[in-house]
Chains A and B, each alone.
Chain A
Amino acid sequence: MALILGIEGSCDETAAAVLSGETTVLSSVVASQLSVHGKYGGVVPELASREHLRSIVPVVREAMQRAAVTFDDLDAIAVTSGPGLAGALLVGLTYAKGIAFSTGKPLITVNHIEGHIHAVVLEARQKGTPVEFPALAMIVSGGHTHMFAASAAGSYQLLGKTRDDAAGEAFDKVGKLLGFGYPGGPVIDKLAPYGNPKAVKFTIAKMKSNPLDFSFSGLKTAVLRWSQANAVDEEVRVRKALLKTDPSPALEQWLAVTPQRTLDVLASFQHTVIEEILNHAEMAAEGLEGIRSIIISGGVACNAGLRLAAAKAGLGVPVHFPSPGLSTDNAVMIAAAAVPKFDRGIFAGMEAAAQPNLTLAN
């Protein structure tokens, strides 16, 4: 059973995890969720090297301690090499190289997007319902909206991606412009069941040249236009004031400051995004011969409305979601994506570079 330390630091989060074999998670630490994080500057997004530098040592140490293992016990060190922010990636990569060099253990570089896919593969195995291939893999998050055909774990073909905004970005921007703070995705998900999803008709343009591409920019703009036409300034002001007194208001507090028409818009907006995601999944699945499952991963996979709609959509094959903790950026997924590489002896050298534009497949 290989023991792998995974390190993730591609954008906002520094994370470390220890994985034993294919499915036994010995520890998973994410900097922003670490109680000691206060000491290191609170939950400021870790935009660049400086912030990651501050977190990486305590985060890796915490992961090793919780797993009760030492560097010498490890079989390999896995780290995200891209895509992401150059400065952020460099910190994780350099630190991982340092551990690999000093312990003589192999280094494995992992694509962040492949990590998201493996979060699902790992959990499906844990549940005893493994992902069967060929599969359709969708990554929907704040930074990515990508759809791949996976003939096997590790073999991907890009089917479509966003031409402008990522799905999670659309949620977060709509949340912000309506005064729900940033990122607003989780709040919209909570409030959407209280609105009428058919109240406002939003349309999304079909993509020329590749119908499997996505576009969410126009939808975001449509919500902006709605807010301008409906004089929402006063309610937005009230919600912003609420956020100042309480950075994470409870559902009842949000409902008290959100009129029905705005709940209807949130519900309609969320409904439109979900429909777009699931329509694309259906369209892509029809084109994949012998498809046996669908993977939906990334931060937007946390969306309860999406999970519910996917279950009801009758897509014909099992749809696998990660648990909320493994939907957003984490290091378990990086260690998990490294397992097949470890088994096949695909290791990186000390010259491995951070690749901000790394793609999974073209």
Chain B
Amino acid sequence: MIALRSGATILPMAHWGGEKFGKNLRSLKRTDFHVKVGQPFRLQVEEMVTIILRDKEYEVRSGMTLLSALKKIDILPEAVIATRGGELIEEDEILREGETIKLVAVISGG
């Protein structure tokens, strides 16, 4: 979480061999220690998609279909129509990074 928030570079390292130290000591053997250093990397924040229905806002991962996103936030697809920038979109539409999808409730009026 610290690396994610600070954006710091992560250097992956591993060591092994030490677990045999006690056993080797009893039989007066040397113990080899191993250290491996991997490639440095940074954690990237995955771009989210904002979904708005009336006064509620939800966030889902980008790259999923509208249908999957609606299932994830527990909204019945039958009960809403989704719009992207005023255009109607259908359930198989892939949601893009950083965009906002506005849902219009089907039931309205008196």
Are A and B part of the same complex? no
